[in-house]
Structure formats: structure tokens, C-alpha cells
A and B are shown apart, each in its own frame.
Chain A
Amino acid sequence: MEKQTINTEEKPSHRHKKVFVEGPISAAFVGDSIAKHSTKMDIGAHSIFLGQVRKDVIESQEVVAIDYSAYAEMAEEKFHEIREDTFAKYPLTCMHIYHSLGKVNAGEICLFVFTSAIHRREAIDACNEVVERIKQEVPVWGKEIFDNDQHRWKENK
């Protein structure tokens, strides 16, 4: 008989939070995330960044969607590092990061960064810094899909 193992060990405190979500991030999900903070009475300010897929026109071709892919293992480590650094730098109450993988249509949300603090300045500055670092440091790629099925690999400015 196979020996049954019961895992009673707690995961380490530096737990990796799940960042990637398949497809677009819905407005309802964002709303629910905000609602979940109503019990945290020390929060005085939230800052939220939402990245939306833009219908760019490139050489008369319209972007209809972006197909996101990632080096997931490295990206998760980077997200974790960004979280830890940001918590060390700013007095935040909490932080949530969600990024889409797969196809996100123009007009839909692909990135949701949510920071909360006692006062606005920390929440806003931390949110901005997290967004900038995600764009520069996390191995995620967006393939812009055009209306004629052609594609082009996007590059962050």
C-alpha cells in the first residue's frame, strides 16, 4: 500500500502571490477587489492603475487584441521582488498585482495594480513605481494582433 503523505507544513512566509490571470481582467473583479478592503479600517487611500489595450492604427492596420505571453517562472520571481522592494520602501497596508496572459481585446483591461496605505502619497507613489518596474523588468511580451490577422511584437517605451 502506498504511503500517504499529509502536508502539514505551512508555506514559507515569502509566499508567491498569483499574478497572472488568463484573459482580460473584468471590471467586476476590480470592483470586488475594492470591496474586499472595506473591513480594513486603517486604510485611508487606494491607488489603482488599470492598463487597457489600445486600438492603435499602425500603417493602416488596426490593433484588435494583444496576445500576452511570459517567461512565467522568471516573471513570478520578478513580481515577488518588486512587491518586497515596494513594501520595504513605502508604508503600505496592502498591494495587489494582476496581469493578463493570452488574448485581451482592444478596450479590455490587461494590468491591474492596486496599492493601499494610510495616506494618499504613499499609495500613489508606490503604485506608480510598481507599474514602471513591471513594464521595464518583468519578462512579459505582447503580440499586437491586427484586423487582417497579421501581428507585430510590441515594445514598451
Chain B
Amino acid sequence: MTIKIVAFGKIADILPQQEWETDGLETAGMLRGQLEAKYPNLKGQRYLIAVDKKIANDDSPLEEHSVVALLPPFSGG
């Protein structure tokens, strides 16, 4: 199961890439855990996860071709 991950704002600055694909993850929470283990700088950062443009929680399932976005606090306007 392949998903696409896109990071924005401050989170994109912390990660080595803004967009990539990965597989083997079943929930948004699993992705969060994997990312924070791999990139310790991410721990303590505030960000929401959106799955297919809807704000998700850690239990939200990931599906084939889901687009998962990492969204730091908004600052539009």
C-alpha cells in the first residue's frame, strides 16, 4: 500500500524532503510514530495530519494512494 506524504511550512523545513512516497503504514498515528523516530527534531512540534484533505486523528486509516499532509499551525491572513 503506497501513500504519498507532503509536508508544509515549518515541518517541511525540518524534514529532508517536502514530498515522498512510502508504504507499510496503516494509520496516521503509525506514520507520526515512524517520522518522529526517524527525525527527532519533529518531536515537540505542533502539527496536524490530514488524510486526503481531511484533518485526521492517530486512528485514521491510510488507504492505497492516500495523500497524507503534515500541517503545522496555520498562519494565513
Contact = CB atoms under 8 A, between A and B. Distances in A.
A156 B76 contact: yes
A55 interface: no
A134 B76 contact: yes
Given A135-B76, A139-B8, A139-B71, 19 more contacts: A69-B8, A69-B9, A70-B8, A71-B8, A77-B53, A99-B77, A111-B76, A134-B77, A135-B77, A136-B74, A139-B74, A140-B74, A141-B74, A143-B9, A153-B9, A154-B75, A155-B73, A156-B75, A156-B76
B31 interface: no
A131 interface: yes
Among A77, A110, A135, A139, find the residue whose CB has the most chain B CB atoms closer than 10 A.
A139
Interface residues of B, number: 15
Interface in A124-157: 131, 134-143, 153-156
Contacts of B50: 71, 74, 139
